[in-house]
Amino acid sequence: MCPKRTSQLRKINLFYYSKYPNKVMNRSYDDFMKESDPKVQPLMDSLRKFCFSLGSNVVEDIRVHRVVFCKSFAFRWFVDVEPQSDSVLLKIQKSRSETQTVELGLDQDLDKTQEIIREAYNSIH
């Protein structure tokens, strides 16, 4: 992305955050989930619980349409979780240059995905 475009996006984001500070910056996970499809809530809750089980330094960042989990020491994200209507879209940061996208259906087994998330968490130093 070109520097000018990045600068424009930052201005847009800062404008949005300054115009609607309570709507975006002070949202809790429960507030976020009220706007999500009830079908995906159990899956989102399971993924959230798993991410927090990885370590005491996991930080949850509630965004407008997704939840991002970071390792607090470096504040580097390792998984981005976005609820869909009947699935959850995960972007897993496997390394600084490699991101894996996984769409997890409501009836899919979490074991394989949890292992990928664990590896991403452990790769952050």
Give the largest Cα separation in the chain, rounded. 43
Q: Is residue 71 part of a domain?
A: yes
Q: Is residue 95 part of a domain?
A: yes
What CA–CA distance (Å, rounded) separates 116 from 93?
9
Who's near 122: CB < 8 A, 6+ residues apart? none
Q: Is residue 4 part of a domain?
A: no
Q: Is residue 84 part of a domain?
A: yes
Q: Is residue 68 part of a domain?
A: yes
pLDDT at 22: 46
The structure tokens 């292992």 sit at: 115
- Reference 77, options 64, 63, 87, 65; nearest CA is 63
Q: How many domains does the chain have?
A: 1
What CA–CA distance (Å, rounded) separates 109 from 57?
26
Q: Is residue 56 part of a domain?
A: yes
Q: Is residue 2 part of a domain?
A: no
Q: Is residue 63 part of a domain?
A: yes
One digit per residue, pLDDT tens: the chain, 125 residues?
544 444 443 444 444 444 444 444 568 999 999 999 999 999 999 999 999 999 999 999 999 999 999 998 677 899 999 999 999 999 999 888 899 999 999 999 999 999 999 999 999 87
pLDDT at 56: 93
Range of the domain at 46: 28-123
Sheet harboring 87-95: ordered strands across?
Answer: 58-62, 67-71, 76-83, 87-95, 98-105
pLDDT at 25: 56
pTM of the full predicted structure? 0.77
